[in-house]
Each structure stands twice: as C-alpha cells, then as structure tokens.
Amino acid sequence: MKICVAGQGAFGQKHLDALKRIPDVEVVSLIGGSPAGTEEVAKKYGIPHWGHDLGEGIRHAEAVILATPTQMHRTQGEQVMRAGKHVLIEIPIADNVEDSQALVKNARETGVVAMAGHVRRFNPSHQWVHRRVAQGDLAIQQMDVQTYFFRRTNMNAAGKPRSWTDHLLWHHACHTVDLFHYQTGQTSSECYAVQGARNPKLGIAMDMGILLKVPSGAICTLSLSFNNDGPIGSFFRYICDNGTYQAYYDDLADGKKNPIDLSKVDVSMDGIELEDREFISAIGERREPNSSLAQVLPCMEVLGRLEQMIDPGRSCIV
C-alpha cells in the first residue's frame, strides 16, 4: 500500500518510524511546511518524493496520514477524501465541533476509510483494560487522569518551534474524553470544566480541570497543565469494582504498582504502530476502523460543550 505522510514534525516522524515496521507498506511521499526540514526528513527515511503541495502527495498515494497543524485538518481532510483516498487524521481532527461534523459528513459522502489518530484506544495498557471491561470482568467506577507538561514556549515534542499553538482542551483533553467514552461504551451525559489564567504570549489557558459522567454513573476527573515542572505525559488511574489499575502510555500496573505483562496483548508495544496497522487493515478489509471519524465525533461534541463553559464567547455548533 502506498502511503503519503503530510507533516514532517515530531508526530509525522513517529508515524514514519511505525510504518517501517508494517509489512507491505511503502511511504511514497512526504509533504511538509518547511522546505529544508521536509527534504531532510524525506532523505532520512528514504522517501522518494517530497514537497509542499498536498495535491502532489495525494496523486502518489492510496492513503494519506495527516500529521499537520490542527487548523489545517478540515480543509486537508476534505481534499484527501474528495480525491477518493483514505485518510487518517491525527488527534485532534479539528479544534471545533463544526469542522468535526463536516469531516464526518465528507467521510460518509465519499465512502473512504476515514480514521482519527486516537492512539489511547490502541495502547496495550488501555487495550488490556478495555478487553476486561468488554468481558464483564471489570466495571469502571472512576478514571482519574493527570495530563502534565512544561510548555511555556511554543515548542513541539522534539523541542523545535511549532508553527501553531497547542491546546489543553482540543488536543490533550481530547485523548481522555474519547478514551473515557471508549472504555465505558457510553457518551458523557454530564460535563463540567474550569480553566486557569491565560499565558500572555501563547494566548491559551495553562491549567484546566474537567469532570465527566456517563449514564452508568462512572465518572472521569481530568487535570491538565502546561505549568508542570516534573514528569510529563498522561497518567491514568482506573478505579474499578474489581481492582485498580495505573496506566502510563504502554505500561500498566495494578493499584499497588505491581507491573502487568502486556507483551501478548497485541503484535507491538507501540500504540502509534498499532493505530497505523488498524488504518491499513481497515482499508484492505473495506470496513470501518476502530477510531473512525464517526466514532470520535461524540468526543468532539463534548469538547464543544466544555468550551462553552470556559469560553462562552467562541462560536460553536453542538
């Protein structure tokens, strides 16, 4: 399968690393916003075509992975789908509800495989919990999540300047809201949010608290910060009727910090690779992928409701 990756930054390269480990896949084009950086990354990974026009990349490929700035996702996602090509749009698929709904409509109209990069669904740690919930071995009472970074300048995960501004709600909370829905099998019936002071240079809130509840009674408490000068990332605690579990990316332990072996959960321990494998398998099998745009839309609509609480002046359609 011939793949075009759009986005030469930190996350684009995570996908390039993952795709190298998947059989019968060839990255034939890399599209990026920085001419020198795009060429450098293309040569590093042996990609034969690189450039800055997404239309060119689309013509070379059967499917496209969009790891571009969030604000470009709606236009680029529609461009890919209207060209009849399958698309994986990195999280978040948009930074508002209207664009998210438009992308879902595009996918329905074109009939292509359209997937969101909600990697938490694929991390072995969360897969382990999900399977036990599905089997009836566990019922989630509360998910307690801390998402912490130290990000007072506009830098990406590789320590390089971003051309766009990250966002606690539309990016980092998106991971957890969707995971909460996925793990409980329900959509939030109640949601609340507060945010702290805005950074005068970045123009975004640096601290945020979110509380969610689904009809079963399970709740999710989420704390987010760009001010945390300490361990970074997202730390998940599943408090269940039959055990407590702590997840950190691809690692899992019980409530007493005893490690749980995840080596046989899936074919890889890399969530990004598993996400990409699902995308490629869904294309080959002509089916809806786990984490399709339609499946993650309820998450985006909850984010819209939360935004109305913390920033009621912003236009939003829910």
pLDDT, position 158: 58
Q: Which two tokens stand for residue 215?
A: 């009809």
Average pLDDT, integer, range 275-303:
98
Task: Give the whole-angstrom CA distance, residue 161 versus residue 56.
Answer: 26
Average pLDDT, integer, range 13-33:
97
Task: Give the whole-angstrom CA distance, residue 286 versus residue 94.
Answer: 25
Residues near 138 by Cβ (< 8 Å), separated by ≥ 6? Answer: 129, 132, 238, 240, 241, 242, 243
Q: pLDDT > 90: what percent of the chain?
A: 87
pLDDT, position 200: 86
DSSP per-residue codes, 233-274? EEEEEEEETTEEEEEETTEEEETT--B---TTTSS-S-HHHH
**Three-class SS of residue 313?**
coil
Average pLDDT, integer, range 256-274:
97
| Predicted structure pTM score | 0.93
Task: Give the whole-angstrom CA distance, residue 266 versus residue 244.
Answer: 22
pLDDT tens sequence across 117-171:
999 999 999 999 999 999 999 999 999 999 999 877 666 555 666 555 678 999 9
What are the beta bridge partners of residue 146?
Answer: 223, 235
Average pLDDT, integer, range 268-285:
98
pLDDT tens sequence across 29-75:
999 998 889 999 999 999 999 999 999 999 999 999 999 999 999 99
Give, for 143, the enclosing helix (H) or strand (E): strand 140-148
> Which domains are seen in the chain, by residue range?
2-119+272-291 (3.40.50.720), 123-265 (3.30.360.10)
Residue 315 clears pLDDT 50, i.e. is over it: no
